[in-house]
Structure 1
Amino acid sequence: MSGETYMGAPREKIPWYPTIDWTKCNHCGDCAKFCAHSVFKMVEKDGKKRLEFENKYNCVVFCKACALMCPMNAITFPDKKEILKIIKENRV
C-alpha cells in the first residue's frame, strides 16, 4: 500500500477503515468473504474461527459494503466529513 494516494493524499494518512464492535461480532466471516481487498481474515484460535484485520488500509476509501453485509451490525466507519477534512489537509 505504500506510495498510494487517494484524492491526492497518502493513503496511510487517511484513517478510513472499519471498526468492529467485538461485543457484537459473532465471527461469522461474512465481511471477510465479501471483501475482495483483504481487509479481514479468518484465523483459527483455540479451535474456533476468529475474525482479524489483515490490512485495514486496503479498505477502499468511502466503501462501507462490509458493514451492510454484517448480520450483527458490528462494523462502523468514521464520519465522511471528517475524512474529507483529513484528505484536504494531507494533499501533496
Structure 2
Amino acid sequence: MSVDWTKCNGCGTCVDNCPVVVFELQDLQHYPDSKKSVPVRAEDCILCISCVNSCPTGAVTMEE
C-alpha cells in the first residue's frame, strides 16, 4: 500500500481501521501542518484493504 501525503489529512482513520496496525501518524518534515499516515509495518499487511476503503480523502491506495 502507499499513502499520498498530499491527500492525507492526518485523520487517523486508516490507523483505526487496520486490524494489524500497519500505520502510524507521524510528523513529517515537508508537511508541518498536520501529522501524516505512514505505513511503518507494511510487511504485516494482510491485504484486507480496510485502510483503502476507510480513507475519506483517497490517500491510501493498494499497489498491484
The equivalences for 1:66-85 within 5 A come to 66-79=51-64
Residue in 2 aligned with 1:26? Answer: 9
Give the TM-score, by structure 1 length. Answer: 0.55
What is the alpha-carbon distance in structure 2 between the residues aligned to residue 56 and residue 74 of structure 1? Answer: 16
Q: What percentage of aligned pairs have identical amino acids?
A: 33
Number of matched pairs: 61
The equivalences for 1:59-70 within 5 A come to 59-60=45-46, 62-70=47-55
Give the TM-score, by structure 2 length. Answer: 0.75
Structure number with bigger Rg: 1
Gapped runs of 5+ residues in structure 2?
A: none
Comparing both structures, which one devotes a greater share of its residues to helix?
A: 1
The match for 2:23 among 40, 57, 64 is 40
Larger RCO (CA within 8 A; separation ≥ 6): 2
Comparing both structures, which one devotes a greater share of its residues to strand?
A: 2
Gapped runs of 5+ residues in structure 1?
A: 1-17, 80-92
Deviations 1:8-41 (A, max 9, x none): xxxxxxxxxx101111110110000111201001
